Homo-oligomer: A and B are copies of this chain.
Amino acid sequence: MIKVGIVGGTGYTGVELLRILAAHPEVELVCITSRSEDGLPVADMFPSLRGHVSLCFTAPDKARLTDCDVVFFATPHGVAMAQAPDLLKAGVKVIDLAADFRLQDVDVFAKWYGMPHSQPALLAEAVYGLPEINRAAIKTARLIGLPGCYPTSMQLGFAPLLAQGKPLVNESALIADCKSGVSGAGRKAEVSALMAEASDNFKAYGVKGHRHLPETVQGLEAIAQRKIGLTFVPHLVPMIRGIHSTLYATLLPEARGLDIQALFEAHYKDDYFVDVMPAGSHPETRSVRASNMLRIAVHRPGNGDLVVILVVEDNLVKGAAGQGVQCMNVMFGLDETTGLRQVPILP
């Protein structure tokens, strides 16, 4: 059994980790920390876990995290980089769901997250936890920086077009029009996330700039091995879970004859969690609700040069906690799908 600790379990990615790990056949939940809720049974805060999780929250200083095999950080940015060194030194693997180990350029990190990066050496060692792109590196990693929710959908959606050696599309003018459910904003008391504000409403936000832009550009450039240009426009959808990314790329003249559907199917033929749907499909976010699946459909309207890629995922699962467990499975030599084969909840 893998001994697992969780730092910061009171948010949505935390409770989602608990939901998945509580039913994982190879995991023993050892401790979960919360500064503010020390001593409180986890199931008192989240009654959905009654009968499944018997742990209480523990104050960070009392938690014996070094007894764990792996520790997940479901914390605000900055916490994981402070605690990772000691854990790694003690032989504990670390998986960070926040942004501390995503951006390889410390200046870019400092600009977008408003704090200096305190562990540049560890950052250099950290592996970006997107198994469909980075599986081999994850297998031997000690330290994982998990992708953000939007970046997961954008990278897996664009990857087959960018990974083919020579350019197929105008890589300087990619567009990602993304839509997220409200759980993406986290379990934070903010007026803009109140149900009376966010329901029966739709809006874009962060058009001037969003932290997931530099992360996605870094990831896409790693895939393409070339510079790319991306415009990213996020929107807020009045639903709880789910991301729907609508991606646009313009085929280069020499690629007009391409069978894009076949390209995508071939690219993901060995990836259990990526489902390339039949040509002409319109994937729905609910078709992956509460599961680690990501579904893709590819379109070429009017048979023109513009490729439209539709991607759906559950932002809390494939976009966060589920992807973390997927990485853990890879790191510990388990079947990648262990504990992650739940059927999506529909309706």
Contacts and interface: CB of A to CB of B under 8 A. Distances in A.
Given A47-B283, A182-B195, A199-B240, A177 B346 contact: no
Q: How large is the interface on A (under 10, 10 to 19, 20 to 34, 35 or more residues)?
A: 35 or more
A205 B301 CA distance: 12
A159 B119 CA distance: 51
A96 to B, nearest CB: 22
B200 A239 contact: yes
Copies of this chain per assembly: 4
Interface stretch (A55-63, A143-151, A186-194): A186-194
A94 B242 CA distance: 38
A251 to B, nearest CB: 12
Interface in A231-283: 231-233, 235, 237-242, 244, 246, 248, 250, 272, 275, 277, 280-283
B195 A280 contact: no
A34 interface: no
Interface string A220-232: 0000000001011
Interface in A8-61: 12, 15, 19, 22-23, 46-52
A26 to B, nearest CB: 16
Interface in A167-196: 173, 175, 177, 179, 181-183, 185, 187-191, 193-196
Given A195-B238, A246-B235, A299-B208, A200 B286 contact: yes
Contact of A204 (B181, B310, B347): B310
A22, A181, A342, A346: residue with the most chain B Cβ atoms closer than 10 Å: A346
Given A237-B202, A283-B203, A194 B193 contact: yes
A64 interface: no
A241 B173 CA distance: 32
A238 B239 contact: yes
A302 interface: yes
A146 to B, nearest CB: 19
Nearest to A295: B47
A48, A195, A205, A302: residue with the most chain B Cβ atoms closer than 10 Å: A195
Contact of A23 (B52, B200, B342): B342
Contacts of A344: 48
A177 B52 CA distance: 30
Contact of A306 (B173, B199, B291, B312): B173
Given A203-B285, A310-B204, A209 B301 contact: yes
A291 B198 CA distance: 19
B248 A175 contact: yes
A52, A181, A187, A345: residue with the most chain B Cβ atoms closer than 10 Å: A345
A22 B203 contact: no
A112 to B, nearest CB: 13
Which 4 pairs from chain A and chain B are nearest by CB? A48-B344, A48-B346, A195-B195, A189-B189
7 contacts: A19-B345, A48-B289, A179-B202, A202-B285, A203-B284, A238-B238, A290-B345
Given A179-B202, A195-B199, A195-B240, 13 more contacts: A19-B346, A182-B195, A182-B199, A187-B196, A193-B196, A194-B194, A199-B199, A201-B284, A207-B308, A208-B301, A233-B246, A238-B238, A289-B345
